[in-house]
């Protein structure tokens, strides 16, 4: 069976070096960024675009990645941003790593480490060491790779960078997994999982379960492998993480195949393949294609296996991925043999021999590169020895320097004495200046306190005015209906009214009590807003639904007066405001329209979008309002207005409407002519751009 570790070079690259941004590199378009570079922009903005372009070209054009990484490094150096200089060197190394120029990659990673060390940039040092570990892994020098990643781990622990620590655990586990030290790999993968659990990193937990599943699969602890794969799969579904779903499904399919349940394995492989095609994960797609082909071969279904293995093979040919070619060709040879296609089998057998020779050649090249690294290290050590000899020669000059220093010291003593005298004078001047500044600060504080007292007095006066207005309105507008009710009960108690007369008068008084209750609601809302301030909680809601709800609420009054009420909107009218406040506004305006209309009059409500704002209009064919009274409608010069049918209206409702609409970044206005009717317009934002 195919194992995940068989593609170790590519996976190490992803894990160690570019895992933090490759997901974005393939999706972002370079055209807008290149267009932005042509503009006259600040250097900091230009630097940011260089880094974005370096990321964009990671897979599509590594040479361009190197070009923009180098541009960003140079500009960062000019701006004195050392952390981004380190970032640029690492990106340049990654570019060479992707192109298999591992020696050049190590060169730039080492420069990144040296620059980070000069500025005590621990995070940069750790990232550079992790990248060097990646390069040594590409050279199959696991010992050096592990050594560098362990150093990176210690640095990340110093700054308590959880994500870096966890990534080092994963990378160390992957390296030990590659050299088949599965128990050691298990310990590191467990540490990574524990770290992710503590950090509540659900994505890390899902991937940690996948890596442990792989490890237990290799240790032939298949039950444990299934448990971890299933945990990872469950969490991946919760997170809707297609990549982890594909990985965990593939892992479960491998366990099924090992246990001989090839049909179940194929179901899981097909799911993994479908997801990898959707997310365009070419590397993992090839691994799954080989797994499917291998399962069909085990089932002796060679014809079904052929298209899958050929797709993986063709992809590997395009990318010259020797490891994948070495896994596809044996299966192709076997499939052709079993189908009696011996010439094709021989052709692919020849290609397999060539791939194996290329792999051996690559291994030899890596060994040569490692030897060169050792030679360079040796030369550096010799340079250090030469430097020590030069230091020893310099000792002979110390005596001369000492004598000169003594003379200079005498001069310095004289200068110090002179300096002390001047310093004493300066101290006295500084003390006087400090006292002057303290006096100025005290005066400033007194001025601030005085201003605060003035503001507080203004607020108290405003609160007093609100209180007086409140009691004035209450005493004026509540006294009449309460007095009427009191008189009615006294007449009934004295026997001057019988039951039928009382019922008739109570029926007439009912509308007055209802109007008074509505007035009290509006009055309390207005008073609360004046004393405490309105708390606006805007959200998207359908104005049409609120209009319909309020029409239903007033249905009995509408039918009683035989009014024609029409909401002309068929489609939703979405506004962005506080729905409770706007509901109060709509209720007040429709209630007023119903109250002041003559029997059989019409009320028309409609809304329209005007420059991304909703304009709601409520028009009635009632008696209208005199032009001289229009300007007073929204002022708190309290009066009671009586309709043609004897119903009373309280202007406090309109004042409340105006406050609530304006608090929601809207406007309210009215148009009216005597004898023709009245139209109220409410304008509200249709989205949160206007709040």
Q: Given this model, what pLDDT does residue 6 score?
A: 42
What is the average per-residue pLDDT within 268-291? Answer: 92
Give just the sign of the alpha carbon dihedral 428, 431, 432, 433. positive
What is the average per-residue pLDDT within 651-672? Answer: 88
Write out 552-581 in H/E/C secondary structure: HHCHHHHHHCCCEEEECCCCCCEEEECHHH
At 462, is the pLDDT very low, low, confident or very high (cuts 50, 70, 90)? low
Among 248, 199, 252, 194, which Cα is nearest to 223's? 252
According to the per-residue pLDDT averaged within each range, which of 353-357, 386-390, 653-657 is highest? 353-357
| Lookup: tokens for 120 | 């005590």
pLDDT in tens, 611-640: 889 999 999 999 998 888 888 888 765 455
* Residues near 608 by beta carbon (within 8 Å), at least 6 away in sequence: 614, 615
b/e map 432-462, b = 16+ CB within 10 Å: eeeeeeeeeeeeeeeeeeeeeeeeeeeeeee
**Domain 534-690 belongs in CATH node 3.30.565.10:** yes
The residues with which 608 forms a beta bridge, in sequence order, are 615
b/e map 591-604, b = 16+ CB within 10 Å: bbbbbbbeeebebb
Among 294, 300, 337, 298, which Cα is nearest to 312's? 294
Position with higher pLDDT, 46 vs 520: 46
- The radius of gyration of the chain from alpha carbons, rounded to an integer in Å, stands at 41
Among 663, 596, 623, which Cα is nearest to 682's? 663
Q: Residue 370: is its pLDDT beyond 60?
A: no
CA distances from 513 to 368, 479, 499 (A): 100, 12, 20
What is the average per-residue pLDDT within 389-394? Answer: 54
b/e map 86-98, b = 16+ CB within 10 Å: bbbbbbbbbbbbb
Helices (H), 159-281: 162-178, 182-198, 202-218, 222-239, 242-258, 262-279
Distance, in Å, from the CA atom of 679 to the CA atom of 668, rounded to the nearest integer, reads 11
Label residue 198 exposed, middle or buried (CB < 10 Å: 0-12, 13-18, 19+): exposed
Q: At what angle do helices 62-79 and 82-98 cross, to 10 degrees?
A: 170
Q: Residue 495: is its pLDDT beyond 80?
A: no
What is the average per-residue pLDDT within 124-136? Answer: 93
Q: Given this model, what pLDDT does residue 27 score?
A: 44
Q: Given this model, what pLDDT does residue 466 score?
A: 54
b/e map 375-404, b = 16+ CB within 10 Å: eeeeeeeeeeeeeeeeeeeeeeeeeeeeee
The single residue listed with the structure tokens 């007040």 is 588
| Lookup: tokens for 410 | 């005498």
The single residue listed with the structure tokens 């009216």 is 672
Spatial contact of 624 and 633, defined as CB atoms under 8 Å apart:
no
Give just the sign of the alpha carbon dihedral 353, 281, 175, 365. positive
| Residue 643 phi, psi (nearest 5) | -80, 175
Among 594, 593, 604, 582, which Cα is nearest to 656's? 582
CATH number (3.40.50.1100, 1.20.58.220, 1.25.40.10, 3.50.50.60) of 1-159 reads 1.25.40.10
| Residue 115 phi, psi (nearest 5) | -65, -40
Q: Residue 392: is its pLDDT beyond 60?
A: no
Beta strands in 595-666 (DSSP E): 602-609, 613-620, 640-642, 648-650
pLDDT in tens, 318-363: 888 888 899 999 999 999 999 999 999 999 999 999 989 888 876 6
Least confident of 286-300, 640-654, 662-676: 640-654
What is the average per-residue pLDDT within 515-529? Answer: 63
The single residue listed with the structure tokens 């099924």 is 256
Distance, in Å, from the CA atom of 658 to the CA atom of 680, rounded to the nearest integer, reads 11
Distance, in Å, from the CA atom of 429 to the CA atom of 437, rounded to the nearest integer, reads 12
Position with higher pLDDT, 638 vs 511: 511
Least confident of 159-173, 210-224, 369-383, 440-454: 369-383
Q: Residue 11: is its pLDDT beyond 50?
A: no
Domain parsing of the chain, residue ranges: 1-159, 534-690
Q: Residue 581: is its pLDDT beyond 80?
A: yes
pLDDT in tens, 164-177: 999 999 999 999 99
Distance, in Å, from the CA atom of 183 to the CA atom of 605, rounded to the nearest integer, reads 75
């Amino acid at each position: 069976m195919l194992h995940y570790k068989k593609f170790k070079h590519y996976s190490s690259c992803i894990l160690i070096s570019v895992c933090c941004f490759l997901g974005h590199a393939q999706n972002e378009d370079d055209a807008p960024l290149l267009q932005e570079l042509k503009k006259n922009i600040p250097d900091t903005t230009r630097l940011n675009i260089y880094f974005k372009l370096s990321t964009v070209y990671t897979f599509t054009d590594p040479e361009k990645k190197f070009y923009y990484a180098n541009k960003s490094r140079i500009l960062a150096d000019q701006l004195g941003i050392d952390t981004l200089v380190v970032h640029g060197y690492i990106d340049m190394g990654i570019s060479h790593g992707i192109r298999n120029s591992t020696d050049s990659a190590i060169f730039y990673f080492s420069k990144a480490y040296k620059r980070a060390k000069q500025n005590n940039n621990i995070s940069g040092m750790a990232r550079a060491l992790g990248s060097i570990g990646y390069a040594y892994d590409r050279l199959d020098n696991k010992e050096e790779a592990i050594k560098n990643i362990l150093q990176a781990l210690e640095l990340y622990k110093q700054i308590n960078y959880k994500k870096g620590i966890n990534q080092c655990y994963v990378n160390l586990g992957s390296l030990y997994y590659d050299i088949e030290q599965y128990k050691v790999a298990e310990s590191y993968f467990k540490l990574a999982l524990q770290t992710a659990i503590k950090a509540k990193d659900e994505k890390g937990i899902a991937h940690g379960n996948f890596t442990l599943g792989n490890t237990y699969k290799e240790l032939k602890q298949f039950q444990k492998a299934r448990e971890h794969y299933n945990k990872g799969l469950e969490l991946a579904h919760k997170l809707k993480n297609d990549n982890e779903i594909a990985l965990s499904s593939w892992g479960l399919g491998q366990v099924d195949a090992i246990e001989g349940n090839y049909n179940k394995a194929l179901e899981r492989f097909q799911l993994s393949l479908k997801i990898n095609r959707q997310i365009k994960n070419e590397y993992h797609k090839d691994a799954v294609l080989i797994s499917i082909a291998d399962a069909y071969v085990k089932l002796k279904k060679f014809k079904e296996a052929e298209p899958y293995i050929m797709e993986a093979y063709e992809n590997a040919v395009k990318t010259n991925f020797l490891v994948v070619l070495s896994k596809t060709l044996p299966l192709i040879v076997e499939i052709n043999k079993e189908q009696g296609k011996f010439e094709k089998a021989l052709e692919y057998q020849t290609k397999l021999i060539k791939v194996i020779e290329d792999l051996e050649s690559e291994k030899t090249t890596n060994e040569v590169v490692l030897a060169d690294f050792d030679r360079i290290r040796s030369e550096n050590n010799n340079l250090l020895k030469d430097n020590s000899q030069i230091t020893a020669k310099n000792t002979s000059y110390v005596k001369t320097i000492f004598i000169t220093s003594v003379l200079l010291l005498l001069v310095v003593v004289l200068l110090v004495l002179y300096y002390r005298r001047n310093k004493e004078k300066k101290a006295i001047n500084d003390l006087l200046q400090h006292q002057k500044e303290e006096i100025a600060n005290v005066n400033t504080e007194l001025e601030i306190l005085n201003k605060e007292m003035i503001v507080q007095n203004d607020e108290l006066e405003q609160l007093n005015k609100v209180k007086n207005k409140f009691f004035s309105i209450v005493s004026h507008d509540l006294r009449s209906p309460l007095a009427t009710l009191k008189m009615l009960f006294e007449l009934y108690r004295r026997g001057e009214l019988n039951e039928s007369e009382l019922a008739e008068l109570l029926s007439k008084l009912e509308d007055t009590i209802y109007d008074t209750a509505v007035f009290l609601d509006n009055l309390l809302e207005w008073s609360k807003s004046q004393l405490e301030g309105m708390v606006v909680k805007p959200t998207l809601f359908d104005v049409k639904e609120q209009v319909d709800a309020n029409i239903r609420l007033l249905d009995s009054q509408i039918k009683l007066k035989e009014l024609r009420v029409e909401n002309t909107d068929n489609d939703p009218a979405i506004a962005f405001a506080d729905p409770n406040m706007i509901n109060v506004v709509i209720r007040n305006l429709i209630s007023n329209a119903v109250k002041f209309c003559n029997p059989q009059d019409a009320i028309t409500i409609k809304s329209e979008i005007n420059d991304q704002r909703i304009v709601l209009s409520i028009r009635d064919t009632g008696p209208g309002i005199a032009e001289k009274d229009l300007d007073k409608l929204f002022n708190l010069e309290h009066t009671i207005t009586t309709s043609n049918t004897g119903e009373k209206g309280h202007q406090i409702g309109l004042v409340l409407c105006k406050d609530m609409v304006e608090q929601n970044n809207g406007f309210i206005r009215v148009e009216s002519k005597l004898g023709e009717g009245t139209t109220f317009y409410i304008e509200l934002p249709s989205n949160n751009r206007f709040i």
